[in-house]
Amino acid sequence: MKALLQRVLTGKVSISGKVIGEIGKGYVILLGVKTGDSEKEADLMASKIVNLRIMSDENDKMNKSILDVAGEILVVSQFTLYADTTGGRRPSFIKAAKPDVADHLYQYFVDKLKKLGVKNVQTGEFGAYMSVEIVNDGPVTIMLDSEEL
């Protein structure tokens, strides 16, 4: 499982011009699920994310977690995080999990964030063509891979 985490001032996701998820200060997470991932990887990833100290404190230092600042999270499914560009000019997505498995783990991950104490967790729509607007804060962008956790 991979998560591209971006610290944001605001984030929103729209489908056909209609906003379906919107947050203020917090994280926009682009989440990719690979073949072989399970709820174990989702648990590890969610726990790591809510406890990362990358939110600014009163001295503008990255010392606080998303829970410490009552931040919000917008999670968008992103199978293209598993693009393999080693051969040819067209990426292969063979490492990405099948949609039914990926959707289950995506929903499980979102629920886990809520259970870990994030008060406002918004989502995109799994498998839909979406427009994502992000106003980076910092910018702070961190790639997390469950294989490294």
Rounded alpha-carbon distances, angstroms, from residue 113 to 29, 44, 50, 117, 139: 11, 11, 7, 7, 23
68-101 residue pLDDT tens:
999 999 999 999 999 999 999 999 999 999 999 9
Q: What is the pLDDT of residue 131?
A: 98
| pLDDT digit string, tens, across residues 91-149 | 999 999 999 999 999 999 999 999 999 999 999 999 999 999 999 999 999 999 999 99
- 75 DSSP β-pair partners: 29, 123
Residue indicated by tokens 């968008």: 76
Nearest C-alpha neighbor of 3 from the set 117, 91, 105: 105
Fold for domain 2-148? D-tyrosyl-trna(Tyr) Deacylase; Chain: A; (3.50.80)
Q: Structural domain boundaries of the chain?
A: 2-148
Q: CB under 8 Å to 132, separation ≥6 — which residues?
A: 11, 12, 13, 28, 76, 124
Catalytic residue IDs: 78-80
